Structures are given as C-alpha cells and as structure tokens.
Amino acid sequence: MAASSDASRRPAAKKANAGPRDLRNQALADVRRQSVLDAARSAFFELGMEKTSMRVIAHRAGYTVGALYSYFASKEEVYAALLGESLERLNARVQQALHRCTGDAERVRGAATAFFDFYRENPRDLDLGFYLFQGMSPRGLTPALNEKLNVRLRDALRPIQDALEAQGLSARQALEEVTALFAHTVGLLVLSHTGRIRMFKQASQDLFGAYLRQLLSRSSRGAKA
C-alpha cells in the first residue's frame, strides 16, 4: 500500500545501492511506522480527532512520544498519511473497475459504482475522508498537503467526468453532474452508515442505482442535444 507522505518514499536508486544493514534498518523503520499508523487509526475512530494526541498514539503503539516524532511531526501528519493510504486504495478500486468497462456509459457506471462501493464497504475510510468532504482540514494540515489529498479524491471522480464529456456533455455540464453525484453518494453513505436510512425503509444501494440510471439518461439526452 502506498503511503502519502513524501518522506516515506525512497528513490529506487537509493534502495538499489543500499547494503544489507541499511535494508534491514529501513524494513524495521517501515514496520514501526506502520504500527504507529495502525495505533493512530484505532485511536481516531474510538476517540475522535480532537481527543487523540501523540501521547495516546504512542501508548497504543508501544513507543515513547519522542520515538513517534521521528516518524511524524504531528497527529495531523499521521492523519494525512492514513487518509493518503485510503485515497490510494480508493483510486486503485476505481481503476480496477475501469479495466472491465468498454463504452463511455459503462465507464460512468463502473467508476461511480466502485467509488460508492468502496465507502459502503469501508465506513471507517468514509470517516477519515470527512475532513476532505466537508472542507474541514485539521489544524496543522498545511494547505499544500490538504490540496494534495483533495487532488487524489478528485482523481477518483475524474474518470466519471471524462466519460460524461466523451458522451457529449460540455465540461461545465459534466462537472455539475459529477458534483451532484458526489453529493448524492456521500448523503446516501451517511444515511446508510448511521442507520438513518431505515426510517425511510429504503436501501442505499437501490437508491444509488436509481440515481445512476437517471444520470446516464440525462447524459444520453444531453449528448443527443
């Protein structure tokens, strides 16, 4: 799984030239870093972003607070790494779905369904993404890093927009449709994961499928026009 932090990425040439000891040290560092991320993930989900501190994460990971700072400068940086990994898995899911699609309408359906299913099956990834969805970046998350994460979220939606444009919609129309699809998707997921959708006696997957059919119908009419 690719990590989002630039510091975690090592040039291939450097790895190729590293000796056995360097490789062992790097492998150990990677394992420790992942254990920090695992501890942080559980803390964020159980306590929330505000109540989670570096001290809490260190305790859960079994390290000292000082040891944590050798991997991450702040809990916001830890959060960014977790969200970055989540977005990489989201994009991989969308791309995998696209490989099975052959027409533009199929690409819209495949990419949109993959996006919806990823968060439907992984509610905790939806929780992580809510800072991006709501535009509420945690304190300490730099504008550059926030934008980098937003770009990866938009990358997962971009194939839908491209396919709608390929069907004949203008760039403005395609963007409007993708924005509406995103809002509808997030709303359905929130209703589903909180159980509120039961008050309407509806299923989120059925409602999503109905909306997607309407979107494809509109895009087809727009293309003909």
Our count of domains for the chain comes to 2
What is the Cα gyration radius of the chain? 20
| Co-location of 50 and 102 in the same domain | no
| Co-location of 51 and 145 in the same domain | no
Q: Which of 18, 50, 72 is the last residue of a domain?
A: 72
Does residue 3 belong to any structural domain of this protein? no
Please name the helix (run of DSSP H) or strand (run of DSSP E) that holds residue 135, with its range, or none: none
- Residue 102 confidence (pLDDT) above 80: yes
Range of the domain at 60: 8-72
Does residue 124 belong to any structural domain of this protein? yes
In this prediction the pTM is 0.82
pLDDT band of residue 26 (cuts 50, 70, 90) is confident
| Co-location of 105 and 22 in the same domain | no
133/209 Cα distance (integer angstroms): 22
- Digit-coded pLDDT (tens) for 156-178: 999 999 999 999 999 999 999 99
pLDDT value of residue 28? 82
Q: What is the CATH number of the domain that holds 185?
A: 1.10.357.10
pLDDT value of residue 145? 83
Q: Which of 24, 54, 72 is the last residue of a domain?
A: 72
pLDDT band of residue 130 (cuts 50, 70, 90) is confident
Q: Which of 72, 102, 125 is the last residue of a domain?
A: 72
| Co-location of 42 and 136 in the same domain | no
Does residue 2 belong to any structural domain of this protein? no
pLDDT value of residue 2? 36
22/108 Cα distance (integer angstroms): 46
| Co-location of 148 and 106 in the same domain | yes
